[in-house]
Structure 1
Amino acid sequence: MPNALIATAPDFSQPIAVLKHCHDRIRKQLDTLQNLLEHLPQHGNDAQAQQAAQSIMRYFNQAAPHHHADEEVDLLPMLSVTASGEDAALLQKLMPEIMAEHQQMDKLWHALDQQLTSIADGESTNQLSAQDVQQFSAIYSAHMEKEETWIAPMAKRLFNEQQMQQLGSAMQQRRGISV
């Protein structure tokens, strides 16, 4: 009997579930980022602040780029080949938006990463911009909502078992996990 108390990540045989799991982890990191913004003025750059900054940086410097590549290199191109009719029209509208949002998030992340590095290194307490945090969180949240509302359901509906396996394998290889 599996232990229901321990949350496990979906495996790559369910690539759309893996992408959703990534979104859930992104939301947790965005919450940590907001908590850090509130923590710093009250507690300064203490060990908790440094640990939070390191955790956020680790996720957005390592896992998030893989997630974006999953979408840009595999998911969206596969959908564009598979979709037809209304799905194709919707995809044609959403793909440029999604790609542009990835670029916006990368640019905002670059600024936040520099701020968080100072915090993680114990150098600064007031270097986290509330505006940068708000903008990054807002763009990411709207972006994930768009993907969960339109892209993921479309992929679930249109992809056959072989396409799901192909997507999952590509995602797994991107992360250096043997297939």
Structure 2
Amino acid sequence: MNAHSVPPADGQLDTPLDGFSRCHLGILSQLTATAELPQLLAAAERARHIAADTVELFDSSVPRHHADEENDLFPAVQRSAALGAECAQVAEMIRRLTAEHRAIEALWALVRPALKMAAHGAPAELDEEALERLGRTYLAHAREEEQHFLPLAQRILGRDSRHLAALGIALHMRHVPQPLGYI
């Protein structure tokens, strides 16, 4: 019997022609599974692209975003806040948001190796719980900034248009390619 042959169910002995029929069944079964390949390959390619885009986002855009906030936005708001309760509120929000940045970066470090492998099409075991926590943590962080900190920053910096202009220039200068000097 060959590898694709199955013993007859009725207990009768195999004839050479029965072996051919069972072999055809094995071939047809494999071809049925093979018909799923275009759909599976498309899903695998999409997974590879999502992983690569996520690696690119968290390796370059997210660190730049955090740096913009921590080096330019947060200090500008802190400097412009009114002394007393507003200044204390801003300081506490900045402390919390900065701690959230570090937590997000730590979660990213946990999932990055597997996503990097998946981005290259290699088999990868994703820590689903850590990946879900990263998404949940970042969503909560973004909501906090959007609903509380950015409106407060707008109010504080908006009191003096020069403060908003200075922030705009600082952010612009951070992202302008620096000219190469003469050697």
How far did 1:87 drift?
2.2
State the partner residue of 2:136: 138
Q: TM-score, normalising length from structure 2? A: 0.67
State the partner residue of 1:120: 119
What is the identity, as a one-letter code, of the residue corresponding to 2:71?
A: V
How far did 1:123 drift?
1.1
SS class of match (2:132):
helix
Q: Which runs of 5+ in 1 are unaligned?
A: 1-41
Matched, 1:102 2:101: yes
Q: TM-score, normalising length from structure 1? A: 0.69
Whether the 8 Å contact between 1:87 and 1:154 is mirrored in structure 2 is no
Matched, 1:47 2:39: no
SS class of match (1:128):
coil
State the partner residue of 1:148: 146
Correspondent of 1:81 among 74, 79, 82: 79
Query: Are residues 174 and 52 of structure 1, via their aligned partners in 2, closer, same or farther at CA, if it must alter by over 3 Å?
Result: same
Looking at structure 2, the residues matched to 43 and 172 of structure 1 have their Cα atoms a distance apart, in angstroms, of 44
Asked which structure has the greater CA Rg, the reply is: 2
Deviation string, structure 1 residues 127-178 (Cα, Å, up to 9, x no partner): 2211111111111111111111221111211212222222222222323358
**Comparing 142-151 with 79-88, which one deviates more in the overlay?**
79-88
State the partner residue of 1:64: 62
Report which structure shows greater RCO (CA 8 Å, sep ≥6). 1
Looking at structure 2, the residues matched to 77 and 115 of structure 1 have their Cα atoms a distance apart, in angstroms, of 35
**Comparing 169-178 with 95-104, which one deviates more in the overlay?**
169-178
State the partner residue of 2:24: none
Looking at structure 2, the residues matched to 124 and 176 of structure 1 have their Cα atoms a distance apart, in angstroms, of 38
Aligned residues: 136
Q: Which runs of 5+ in 2 are unaligned?
A: 1-38, 179-183
Looking at structure 2, the residues matched to 62 and 176 of structure 1 have their Cα atoms a distance apart, in angstroms, of 15
What is the identity, as a one-letter code, of the residue corresponding to 2:176?
A: G
Looking at structure 2, the residues matched to 132 and 174 of structure 1 have their Cα atoms a distance apart, in angstroms, of 32
What is the identity, as a one-letter code, of the residue corresponding to 2:126?
A: L
Whether the 8 Å contact between 1:66 and 1:175 is mirrored in structure 2 is no
Looking at structure 2, the residues matched to 59 and 175 of structure 1 have their Cα atoms a distance apart, in angstroms, of 16
State the partner residue of 1:176: 176
Query: Are residues 177 and 151 of structure 1, via their aligned partners in 2, closer, same or farther at CA, if it must alter by over 3 Å?
Result: farther
SS class of match (2:101):
helix
Deviation string, structure 1 residues 91-145 (Cα, Å, up to 9, x no partner): 12212111111111111111221111110111114x2211111111111111111
